[in-house]
Amino acid sequence: MKWWSTGVLLLVMMHAQAQLFDNKESFTHADTIRGSITPERSWWNVTHYDLTIRFNEENKTLEGKNTISFRVEDTGSSMQIDLMQPLEVDRVLLDGEPVSISRHDDVFYLQTPSLANGSIHKLEISYHGKPRVARLPPWDGGVIWSRDHNGNSWISVACQGLGASVWYPNKDHQSDEPDSAAMHIITNKGQTAVSNGRFRGMTENADGSLTWNWAVVNPINNYNLIPYIGKYEDHHSTYQGEAGTLDVDMWFLEGHMDQAISHVLPDINKTLEAFEYWFGPYPFYEDGFKMVEAPHLGMEHQSAIAYGNKFKKGYLGGDLSGTGEGDDWDYIVVHESGHEWFGNNITTKDIADMWVHEGFTDYSETLFIEYWKGKDAADKYVRGLRKNISNDEPVIGPYLVNTEGSGDMYYKGANLLHTIRQVIDNDSLFRDILRGLNHDFYHQTVTSLMVEDYISRKAGMDLGRIFTQYLRTTHIPVFDYHFEDGKSGPVLVYRWANIVKGMNMPYDIQVDDQLVRLYPSQEYQYYDLPAGFDTRKNISGNLDYYVLTQRSGK
């Protein structure tokens, strides 16, 4: 892959994102069942997943058992469990007793007895089958059956968007995270299994296989609960952070650890320092921080981040901004670590709002640069990302059908936040808002509107129409202006064009050596320019706003 240019890399990434974020023209009943809180999902709340799994490389099958602990929140007699075909359920026990089930495509329904509100129960689901194989992970996901550089078996899963039910039975909706989870991965002798959270020990089974036990004590969204199986080595270190001593582990393939220590670890430490400054303490100290080498590019698997950037700087050796500011740090280390705050700590209830994950995390790259290289370099980087914006579909997708919005949630989302930052015009307050989001929504699921309202409230200004402009339309605001002659000199006549009704965003322009804040609306407004102002020149606006400037020629 050394022959790939930055341009080719970008085309491949955008094509892959288009597959993951592909909006449908119409939706089926199955989409609604998958993407909404159905009556069969609404009355119970997941508290714990305890998953035992064995992958059989010879025939690309798996067999496993998931014990789901749940709390009854309301009256209900039918329970929806998601498990994608062709995986099959062998047995279901509720509190040790068998229950009847019926299957409908990728969902099966359990008929349960009457359960008391507030009571806790355990649902044990045994299953097996030949799961979907990942076609282009992490974007087009499933189980990954791969080989490492030495020809050893290398297995993992990538399932964001697609859903964790592609490989284990669960309540496959982001709004309901288990409060904790455990993973027991059975491997052949000579293999190592890594997963989220803390290692709880390994046992040798009667048939010579090994069971690797891992557990998280914090809430985790279901697509982040992931196994890695291969010939791994571990390097342990610690980071002295805001909340104390953080355990930092790198699990990399045999023969790769020297590269990991020299290339990956320094960027991990720099990333943790920058992001704790901007966002607050790492959200999962109890579960530690891990970077795990994976057979795909990367993914934000909570406390066990997947790394596959081939020990290159930038994005596989390229800079997605085209500015040179992304050439001296590892994109996957920085970007996927940013998701620990936005995506894992703060998780959207509906994937239609995934810009909260990707927009904030994409902007975390800019903040990383600002922390280490200064504001000018950071501003240059985020402006450079604009060339990747398509404006083909709204950033927010349709709700209740398990569909994301446009892949613009990355670069446009980052530039929306950069624009909001200019509007607030107080970097200290902006940082307080970012830290406040991670404190006040700590380990919670949210909606986009909750995040938008929070930022408006903390900023002390109504930013709602600005969010609507950039998230729910494809229109970029146009600062439309011309000059007229006034009684004492030239007059700037200006307005916002191409905006939603009531969009009230201020805009900063340069008037000679002075920066002036204007408050355009849809109607023309007037600003008296100094006598002698050269109207032959075009108005220069603040480039850190994601807007277009147009001289109308009147």
Structure-token pair, residue 419: 């624009």
**pLDDT average, residue stretch 47-75:** 98
Residue 12 is predicted with a pLDDT of 45
pLDDT at 363: 99
Both tokens of residue 132? 């979907």
Question: What number is the average pLDDT over the span 501-520?
Answer: 96
pLDDT at 23 (0 to 100): 55
pLDDT in tens, 216-232: 999 999 999 999 999 99
Domain ranges in the chain are: 478-551
Name the pLDDT band for 487 (thresholds 50, 70, 90). confident
How many residues comprise the chain? 554
Give the amino acid at 38.
T
How many of the other CB atoms lie within 10 Å of CB of 489?
13
Is the pLDDT confidence value at 343 over 60? yes
Q: Which two tokens stand for residue 414?
A: 């980052």
Whether the CB-CB separation of 406 and 390 falls below 8 Å is answered with: yes
pLDDT tens for 431-467 read 999 999 999 999 999 999 999 999 999 999 999 999 9
pLDDT of residue 16: 44
pLDDT at 26: 85
Looking at residue 465, its pLDDT comes to: 98
pLDDT in tens, 182-200: 999 999 999 999 999 999 9
Helix (H) or strand (E) holding 368: helix 355-373
Q: What are phi and psi of 140, to 5 degrees?
A: -110, 95
Handedness of CA 106, 112, 116, 122 (dihedral sign): negative
What does DSSP assign to residue 530? P
pLDDT confidence of residue 277 = 99
- pLDDT over 90 (residue 10): no
Please give the residue that has the higher pLDDT: either 452 or 5: 452
pLDDT of residue 225: 98
Dihedral (CA of 533, 539, 545, 549) sign: positive
Q: What is the mean pLDDT of the chain?
A: 95
pLDDT of residue 350: 98
Burial class (CB in 10 A: 0-12, 13-18, 19+), 474: middle
What does CATH list as the number for 478-551?
Answer: 2.60.40
Give the model's pLDDT for residue 488. Answer: 87
β-pairing, 444-446 vs 540-541, is unpaired
pLDDT at 212: 98
pLDDT, one tens digit per residue, over 14-58 is 444 444 545 566 899 999 999 999 999 999 999 999 999 999 999
Q: State the Cα–Cα distance between residues 469 and 461, nearest whole angstrom.
A: 16
Q: What's residue 20's pLDDT?
A: 52
Taking only the tens place, the pLDDT of each residue in 292-342 is: 999 999 999 999 999 999 999 999 999 999 999 999 999 999 999 999 999
The letter for the amino acid at 107 is: V
> What percentage of residues in the chain have a pLDDT greater than 90?
94
Whole-number pLDDT of residue 553:
73
pLDDT grade, residue 393 (50/70/90)?
very high
